[in-house]
A and B are shown apart, each in its own frame.
Chain A
Amino acid sequence: DSGVTQTPKHLITATGQRVTLRCSPRSGDLSVYWYQQSLDQGLQFLIQYYNGEERAKGNILERFSAQQFPDLHSELNLSSLELGDSALYFCASSIDTDTQYFGPGTRLTVL
């Protein structure tokens, strides 16, 4: 157990819908990262937050957004969902820009 928690574990929704994925980092970690794992793209970095502020952006679609709250938990919002958004979404956390510890992931299925 890495200490990073993610909810929900599974999510099934329809195209065009909007979902929110939640992540709680390890105690004391200020950075939160989001990654997408799909069969065709592999593991891709989406976005990083540090102590409530966006710090780095990767291959994140405009339909996706994230935020980190004062209690340091983070949410990833996915809107106007498409079939191709079906993937495993991981959250990771680190103290600063150090070793990243991953949560168990949220499996999103878009029908």
Chain B
Amino acid sequence: AQSVTQPDIHITVSEGASLELRCNYSYGATPYLFWYVQSPGQGLQLLLKYFSGDTLVQGIKGFEAEFKRSQSSFNLRKPSVHWSDAAEYFCAVAAGLTGGGNKLTFGTGTQLKVEL
């Protein structure tokens, strides 16, 4: 069965510093990978996705992620963090199911705090 691990529960960075959030996945086939962000009291907003092709994908709000098959990783990066980036970040893998169904399996999330 597929799984996603986000090893960092909390991360604190200073505004303007670079950021890397780690994500490792386990999935038998070629994975479809996603990063979502959840601000307090809000829904999940899609930051970026990887389906195939270029392993470095660009997303919204200046985020990017790199797919590394050899390491089963899909880490999220941002060169310079803004205070408004403080939120919870979720990595997810899409799994096809019997009968053509589909579901996302999420990691436990990383809470990002930005110090001014």
Q: A residues engaging B (CB < 8 A)? A: 2, 4, 31, 33, 35, 42-43, 45, 48, 50, 55-58, 90, 92, 94, 97, 99-105
Contact = CB atoms under 8 A, between A and B. Distances in A.
Interface string B87-116: 000100010110111111110110000000
B42 interface: yes
Contacts, number: 61
Contact of A105 (B43, B49, B105): B43
A103 B43 contact: yes
B105 A45 contact: yes
Contacts of B90: 43
Interface size class of B (residues with CB under 8 A): 20 to 34
B110 to A, nearest CB: 12
Nearest to A107: B41
B103 A99 contact: no
Contacts of A42: 106, 108-109
B28 to A, nearest CB: 17
Contacts of B101: 48, 50, 55-57, 97
Contacts of A57: 101
A56 B103 contact: yes
B63 interface: no
A105 B44 CA distance: 9
Given A2-B43, A90-B43, A99 B102 contact: no
B34 A2 contact: no
